[in-house]
Structure 1
Amino acid sequence: MNSNSKKHQNCDKQGNCKDRLSELPDELLVDILSFLPIKDAVRTVLLRRFGNLWTLVRTIEYDFKLGGLFMWMVMKYHKSRTIDKLEIRDKCGPMKEELMELISFGFKKKTKVLGIHYYEPRLHYSFSVPPRVVWRNQFIVSLHLTNVYLGFTRYNQIDMVSLKKLELNFVRVSNARIKNLLSEFPCLQELVIKYPSELQALDFDAPNIEKLELDLCLKIRMPDGSGRSRYDERFSLNCPNLKVLHINEVCLELLDLIDVSSVREAKIKECCLSRDYVDYFRKLRKKFRNAKIIQLGNTAYLELGKCGSEKLAFRENQWTRLALRPVSHGSCLLGICRSLINSQCLKELIIYAHVEFFCDCNMLLDELSSPCVMQQLKTVKIREYEKPCQVLLQLIKFVLKSAVILERFVIVCKKKDELQSTEEKDFILQLSGLPRVSQKAKYQ
């Protein structure tokens, strides 16, 4: 018996072995096959336990290099009444008739997710998706197109009432066409545009579109080695009802944010900027004045909510600068502690203390007492400080015992004479007595 067969068998002390794979129900095996390319799924017909289970898969990833005969065989023997996802990939582009047949096959199965991807850059200008086949469908929820020309002349040809996500990669589209196109999707919630050609502006006010992901690659490299630079091209955004905005690889000095006041989460990565980074981040905060999360490269700004009102567990990140601001009625200290624990690259921390911190969570004491080492943190600033707060004192104690190379701890008062009262002097005395793991740490 080889090692591969042993992996699927469970032997008792008497040496009687059972094939664990054979004991799995058909439904689970079909789900497993759905993760495979269709070619590999069909090959399982050679295994007795799998038999013709491939004919029930609900995800089909098809590459036209497999040939038209294989495609006809898949369409002929597939038995599932529905398909959740159909991905069509090719480098040089299939025959139009073959593509139409495969798309029509998917639509007969009420496909929810459709992807058409071509990787030959020249097709970017020549091949179009037939409007009557794709653009008039009642079942597609998510549509993904790569190197495809949006080939329609009249927008009343579009009827996609279920479409919620649209992704366009390397797509040739003008400003006016994309604006008119978006107006035809009444349920569209998420828009993804990567490496567009000719597009210089996005201007839409559709309240249903909540998330925009934009990738304006500064230098586009095609598979044939050709490329072009976008360092000197301006791009403008006017999306007054947008909630989530993610931008990747853009020259910030050429990005015009006209109206993004409704954005609650803004993340901009891999940016090109010649001016002062911190100064630009302040200006960006004015543009995103209602955002609870702003991220510019490795600089982040978070607005923390009350206990239980938001997710308090933040994923591990690469932030080097972090600003935390509580909501108008105070914020949960647990959220701050957890964000610090997951920010191991942090060098500078700013905490706004114009309102009180609090925590009704029973987990707070465990978080404050748990070991946390922040090896990069050198500067901590408490801004807009107004009055003593014991929870704030707990937070400072947590930071002092965790930052091993801390050099500066700065407290900036909202008013100049706020540290003159007896209560404030007692607070300063308590601060001075807090233990510090870094001997270089100094109050300012």
Structure 2
Amino acid sequence: MARPRIVIVGAGFAGYRTARALSRQARGRADITLLNPTDYFLYLPLLPQVAAGVLEPRRVTVSLTGTLPGVRLVLGEADRIDLDARTVHYRDPEGGEGTLSYDRLVLAAGSVNKLLPVPGVAEHAHGFRGLPEALYLRDHVTRQIELAAASDDGVSADARCTFVVVGAGYTGTEVAAQGQLLTDALTRGRPLPGGGRPRWLLLDIAPRVLPELDERLSRTAARVLRRRGVDVRTGTSVKEATPDGVLLSDGEFVDTRTLIWCVGVRPDPLAETLGLPMERGRLLVDPYLQVPGRPEVYACGDAAAVPDLEKPGQYTPMTAQHAWRQGKVAARNVAASFGTGERRPYRHRDLGFTVDLGGAEAAANPLGVPLSGPLAGAVTRGYHLAAMPGNRVRVAADWLLEAALPRQGVQLGLVRSWSVPLDTASPEQARMPGGAPATRDSYR
């Protein structure tokens, strides 16, 4: 008999975990294919440290072929799924087209930047969802500081040294925290006109930073940011973006050349093309991660609306914490559908969260115990080293070098502005560099 064919779409937290678990459970008993735009899994929680020059880019990438034995990698992006014919149609990185047939399909396409109808944002802002955006931001911030330091125009220099981050969730908070440390390091030996210092603004329409977390962690993060000089403004957002700055919702115009959009994500629109029941853009599944009426189709991560058995009537949020765990359950249930093991519903227990604030600072509540300062920083870094599926020694080595040596502040020129559009869901553009990783979270 022919071996069953399993196709996994996406290698973010959910897809990678599914592939990794299946490579152990079903290797030799099934043909497992992973469809992803790149050949790596991106460990998104450490991406702000790449943008700040703390970690080298390859430290946060894990080779798919090197860590998934028995899994066939196909480089490409799914653009159409024929449920009746059980085929996935995709386009490869060079524009070629291909088709994959399946007996079981795991949809883990992840998410894309969430855009709001704010004039000028799509044209003048940049998101923060993958390596290209992190590398671009690192070069852009470095360039603004260098141009400001060489300028005789104080007004222009001030605008170049003003950086606006919209969205005070995990990503926005960490980008502002790490970015402020980066610009302080860049200006340490490079005085700015008038003796000023770089200015970072962190905006959010919510009443506090990190609104998803416990108020104690939120207060800790806000206190650390403000102590460093970050201008944290809650209840405030962007009304309009222009080439010269941003108009805030309170009527103030901020001169800036940098607008970083971290307002959140929305499910990859691929799921909407299937014509199946949806919940706010996510594919409805049962507690076993199967699509009702399509038992051969599974979905997990940001692509799926998974019933929260701990909170009846609700769905699990779009976080990496859930995506990572759901990937493991999806693998188990797919294997069970072929007679290997028993399937089980998805249940979870909250183990806590961590937010890296740069340097030795962090806010964390492992197992519900609130921590701050260097202790939280140590817990956060220890957690990341334990959670990463690869590169632990290299990441630890970079952290040691960062603590002992001055930060390198140079432009690499690897990514141009036009190659990192904010609207990553446009048909002509890659939906997600790095395989559509899920929204960031910590303790899994």
The two structures have a TM-score, normalised by structure 1, of 0.23
- If each structure's helix is expressed as a fraction of its own residues, which one has the higher value? 2
Asked which structure has the greater CA Rg, the reply is 1
The two structures have a TM-score, normalised by structure 2, of 0.23
